Structure 1
Amino acid sequence: MELRQLEYFLAVVEERSFTRAAARLHVAQPGVSTHIRRLEQELGQPLLDRSGPAVRPTQAGTTLLPYARSALSAVSGGRLALDELAGLVRGRLSVGVVTSCSTVPVADLMADFHRSYPEVEIHLSEASSDRLVAGLRAGELDAALIGVASKPPPGLHHLIVVDEPVVAGVVPEDPLAARDVVPLAELCERPLICLPRGTGVRAVLEEACESRGVPMRITMEAADPHRLVQLAERGLGAAVLPAPFARRHGDRTRGVEIVSPRIRARIALAWSAERGMSPAGQAFLDLARAALTPV
């Protein structure tokens, strides 16, 4: 088994096409096919399903995929570590950010890192927390800013950098707007507007409801907290969201803190506890931990 074979196999799986994989690798398409065919012969099993319009991994290919990624990552990490010894940091940095993470200066972090390490190719992606956690575990991300519940996801190191109350956003004329707090059980008697499953706020809300045996009725979902506020402003329900988003719309929305229990929205800087960190990833972690104040 050769590293080149694994590299070609991984490219075909990610591109779902021999032609696009060859273009990405800057090699001829027959060469890609030949190397993968030899790999399949060596392993004694087909790794790719070529029958459909898009190439897909077989069960054997899916099983091999994380090991191929780990092997290539290990070789790349070794090369980068040697570069680091020579005073160089280059390669690729992949960072994930939970959707609508506006309380962390992500753009400033990226700009500071680029100024310090201009040779590193930076990739930034935005997704729900559960997808970012999956990316960290699969080795697709070096670090991510994720929403976390009371128990952080296993297999990850984390540093809490944002910890804010979760509130119910209601219109000023709502009777609830005259109060400072609302018990969770009382709030859940209303239709709720919330972030979708896989986000930190949704996770802590579900966790709190389950711990108190309180059923909840979520009638509307939106990935953008500002959209939640817009829906609440039109009298469509109480928006469950971090306090800063309600404060930004203070002229049209009143944020009432949820109690019994109090619910917190937490953002954590997270990275894998089970995989070695590349020099670029370690440099980013060092910069981020210095720039972000732990809570």
Structure 2
Amino acid sequence: MDLQQMRYVLAVAETASFTRAAEHCHVVQSALSHQVARLEKELGARLFERTSRRVRLTTAGEAFLPAARQALEAAERARAEVAAATGEVRGRLALGTIPTVAAVDLPAVLGEYRARHPQVRITLRGGASERLAEQVREGLLDAAFLGVQPGFRTRGVCDRELAHGRHVAVVAAGHPLAEKGEVDLRCLAGEVFVDFAEGTAARAQSEEVFAAAGLRREVAFEVSGVELMARLVRHGLGIALLPAAFAVGLAGLRCVPVKDGPVRVERLVWSRSGLSPAASAFLELLGVEGPPPAG
């Protein structure tokens, strides 16, 4: 068993295809299939069920996958630690972020990080705050930027508050509310809303303030990203509630203060376990002191 065989198995599991896995690993499919078959023979168990329509993990494959992933991460960490000992930061930096992060200029920060540490492979995933925090706990992400309610408690991770601010009503330029100096929730309750998916922290921030005020609202459009949300609002299909610090950057829309509206806290969370040199360098760039690197 070697690391390359593990990489092939992970690629097949992630793509559900030997053909796509071979393309991802830059090898011919016959070579990849041969190595997976050799590994299955050594393990004495089939890792994949193969049919003409699909490829999926067997029970043995599902048991093998977490250990294989840990082995590959340990090998990568070992290479990074050796490089760090010689004064060079290498390895991988896996970050997560909500789509409305405003406390930091993330592209600018990542640009500076890349300039300082060109040998680090950076990946960035978007998502909901709850899932991002979970991925940091699971070790899938090194750090993540969240947007949550003031009472939100993170578990199993280190965290730091970055910003604290109110939401504003985001409306089309021709909307009747566009010229208002300020509105309240009762004024907004009769509007049609564009919002994030039900069950997310971003949606809960708005739902809870309306419920606390004894008001109901109609969310007619659920979206996963801010770009589509802004386009729907721009076309007059509804209004949105977004953090003021983020909403001011949306072109062609008006931001109206909401005196009793939601409050959003942006937090940075990172792993409690030993950080890689790449992750430690990222926290240092942000001015955050994390736990010492592993090893």
Q: Counterpart amino acid of 2:8?
A: Y
Change (3 A) 1:247 1:182: same
Q: Counterpart amino acid of 2:243?
A: P
Change (3 A) 1:76 1:233: closer
Q: Report the Cα offset of residue 232 of structure 1.
A: 4.3
Change (3 A) 1:5 1:182: same
Distance 1:84 1:197 in 2: 44
Q: Report the Cα offset of residue 226 of structure 1.
A: 6.0
Change (3 A) 1:227 1:3: closer
Is the partner of 2:287 in helix, strand or coil?
helix
Q: Once structures 1 and 2 are overlaid, which stretch shifts more, 54-63 or 81-90?
A: 54-63
Q: Report the Cα offset of residue 116 of structure 1.
A: 1.3
Q: Report the Cα offset of residue 212 of structure 1.
A: 6.5
Residue in 1 aligned with 2:142? 142
Note if 1:161 corresponds to 2:162.
yes
In the TM superposition, what are the counterparts of 1:95-244 in structure 2 within 5 Å? 95-149=95-149, 150-170=151-171, 174=176, 178=180, 180-183=182-185, 187-197=188-198, 200-208=201-209, 215-225=216-226, 228=229, 231-232=232-233, 235-244=236-245
Q: Counterpart amino acid of 2:184?
A: V
Distance 1:130 1:11 in 2: 26
Residue in 1 aligned with 2:282? 284
Q: Counterpart amino acid of 2:240?
A: A
Distance 2:7 2:175 in 1: 61
Give CA-to-partner distance per residue, 1:170-218, whole Å, 9 cap, x none.
56764796463524x6644543222334754213223445666754421
Instruction: Note if contact 2:234-2:252 (Cα within 8 Å) is conserved in structure 1.
Output: no
Change (3 A) 1:286 1:197: farther
Residue in 1 aligned with 2:13? 13
**For the aligned residues, what is the CA RMSD?**
3.5
Distance 2:35 2:207 in 1: 49
Is the partner of 2:46 in helix, strand or coil?
coil
Instruction: Note if contact 1:66-1:138 (Cα within 8 Å) is conserved in structure 2.
Output: no
Q: Report the Cα offset of residue 239 of structure 1.
A: 1.7
Distance 1:251 1:42 in 2: 62
Q: Report the Cα offset of residue 251 of structure 1.
A: 8.5
Distance 2:42 2:75 in 1: 21
Q: Once structures 1 and 2 are overlaid, which stretch shifts more, 138-147 or 156-165?
A: 138-147
Residue in 1 aligned with 2:81? 81
Residue in 2 aligned with 1:253? 254
Distance 1:250 1:90 in 2: 38
Is the partner of 1:219 in helix, strand or coil?
strand
Give CA-to-partner distance per residue, 1:216-260, whole Å, 9 cap, x none.
42112344546545544655444211123554579963413252x
Q: TM-score, normalised by structure 1?
A: 0.77
Distance 2:91 2:252 in 1: 47
Note if 1:270 corresponds to 2:266.
no
Distance 1:232 1:22 in 2: 43
How many residues of Structure 1 are paired with residues of Structure 2 in the alignment?
287
In the TM superposition, what are the counterparts of 1:13-52 in structure 2 within 5 Å? 13-27=13-27, 29-52=29-52
Residue in 2 aligned with 1:90? 90
Gaps of 5+ in 2: 290-295
Distance 2:249 2:82 in 1: 48
Change (3 A) 1:43 1:201: same
Gaps of 5+ in 1: none
Change (3 A) 1:77 1:187: same
Is the partner of 1:221 in helix, strand or coil?
strand
Is the partner of 1:112 in helix, strand or coil?
helix
Is the partner of 1:266 in helix, strand or coil?
strand
